[in-house]
């Protein structure tokens, strides 16, 4: 029986080098930014395993790995939340024999297909849970603490318990999941949702008939929609997702005017610039003067409602 089919303890008993391989693999992961939480251990059975990372919050298991002991010993691991991924092999590429290279190629191809299938299953299940939450949520109360503090109307928002619920959809119109906003402003997406290319509409979904303005958060998109009634504003979820939404829109509407509207912080400006360049879009620059405490266009609108007009 190949070592890759043995349990961790039996594998180590059958091969004295197994513990060394596991130690080398674990060290390579840590060096690549993937550090397992205390109590987690590597099972070298060639199967996909989810693990808790030191960066995870209680209840989260965003780490994953797969380690083979059968020659050539090799593995891969990653963080589903950040997209970080680390590959490891016990031998340097130039020292692999032709047979070992062929084994690795076939193994990688097979496991990539399995990983993609598992990811699709997670996304499908998240969408189903999101649909249930959205369908069972009630219209949001205008007295919700977050809406009151941000001077926002409920709009499309719904409410479940104390949480605002917003739909995350794609340009094809499919629901990907939901975003929750707590009264204090904490935001989170439903677990395992497919985020890339997803957005939150303000009212009507984009149809290519009006210029499309892509913001980071829903509140910011609502603010810009108020002063730019002739365009369609949507929320790209966060700075890191601006490019994927913009590229999806550019693919769907090649001639449409796209405007990227990032927040005022350094990360927002950098990601906004990248999104504009990749999608051949315009970039809405920050105002010349930013009042203290204003981090986005919603803050600016609340501070001075004339500040964003025709910016």
189 has a pLDDT exceeding 60: yes
Long-range contacts of 101-104 (CB under 8 A, 24+ apart): 103/71, 103/72, 104/72, 104/74
Share of the chain above pLDDT 90, in %: 62
Q: What pLDDT score was predicted for residue 309?
A: 40
Kindly list the strands in the beta sheet with 63-68, ordered across the sheet, starting from the edge strand earlier in the chain. Answer: 49-51, 63-68, 74-79, 85-89
**pLDDT (tens digit, 9 = 90+) per residue, 235-289?**
999 999 999 999 999 999 999 999 999 999 999 999 999 999 999 999 999 888 8
Mean pLDDT within 147-162 = 95
26 has a pLDDT exceeding 50: yes
**pLDDT (tens digit, 9 = 90+) per residue, 114-123?**
878 888 899 9
Domain boundaries, the chain: 3-96, 139-303
71 has a pLDDT exceeding 70: yes
Nearest to 130 by CA among 81, 80, 165, 159: 165
**pLDDT (tens digit, 9 = 90+) per residue, 160-187?**
999 999 999 999 999 999 999 999 999 9
Q: What pLDDT score was predicted for residue 311?
A: 36
60 has a pLDDT exceeding 90: no
Is residue 206 very low, low, confident or very high in pLDDT (cuts 50, 70, 90)?
very high
Is residue 15 very low, low, confident or very high in pLDDT (cuts 50, 70, 90)?
low
91 has a pLDDT exceeding 60: yes
**pLDDT (tens digit, 9 = 90+) per residue, 33-56?**
999 999 899 999 888 899 999 988
Give Cβ neighbours of residue 75 (< 8 Å, ≥ 6 apart). 25, 44, 65, 66, 67, 68, 87, 88
Nearest-angstrom CA–CA distance, 229 and 233 = 9
Q: What rounded mean pLDDT belongs to the chain?
A: 88
């Amino acid at each position: 029986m190949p070592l890759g089919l043995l349990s961790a303890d039996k594998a180590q008993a059958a091969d004295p080098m197994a513990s060394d391989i596991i130690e080398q693999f674990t060290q390579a992961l840590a060096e690549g930014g993937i550090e397992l939480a205390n109590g987690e251990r590597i099972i070298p059975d060639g199967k996909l395993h989810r693990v808790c990372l030191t960066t995870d919050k209680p209840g989260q298991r965003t780490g994953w790995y797969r380690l083979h002991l059968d020659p050539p010993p090799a593995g891969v691991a990653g963080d589903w939340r950040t997209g970080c991924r680390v590959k490891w092999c016990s031998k340097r590429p130039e020292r692999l024999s032709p047979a070992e290279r062929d084994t690795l190629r076939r193994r990688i191809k097979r496991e990539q297909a399995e990983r993609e299938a598992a990811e699709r299953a997670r996304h499908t299940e998240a969408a189903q849970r999101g649909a249930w939450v959205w369908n069972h949520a009630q219209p949001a109360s205008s007295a919700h603490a977050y809406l009151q503090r941000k001077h926002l109307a409920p709009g499309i928002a719904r409410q479940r318990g104390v949480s605002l619920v917003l739909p995350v959809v794609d340009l094809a119109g499919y629901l990907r999941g939901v975003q929750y906003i707590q009264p204090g402003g904490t935001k989170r997406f439903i677990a395992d949702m497919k985020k890339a290319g997803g957005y939150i509409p303000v009212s009507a979904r984009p149809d290519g008939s009006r210029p499309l303005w892509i913001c980071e958060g829903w509140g910011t998109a609502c603010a810009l929609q108020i002063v730019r009634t002739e365009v369609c504003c949507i929320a790209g979820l966060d700075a890191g997702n601006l490019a994927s939404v913009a590229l999806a829109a550019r693919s769907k509407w090649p001639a449409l005017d796209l405007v990227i509207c990032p927040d005022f912080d350094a990360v927002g400006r950098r990601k906004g610039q990248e999104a504009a360049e990749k999608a051949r879009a315009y970039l809405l620059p920050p105002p010349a003067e930013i009042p203290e405490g204003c981090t986005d266009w919603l803050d600016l609108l609340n501070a001075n409602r004339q500040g964003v007009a025709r910016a």
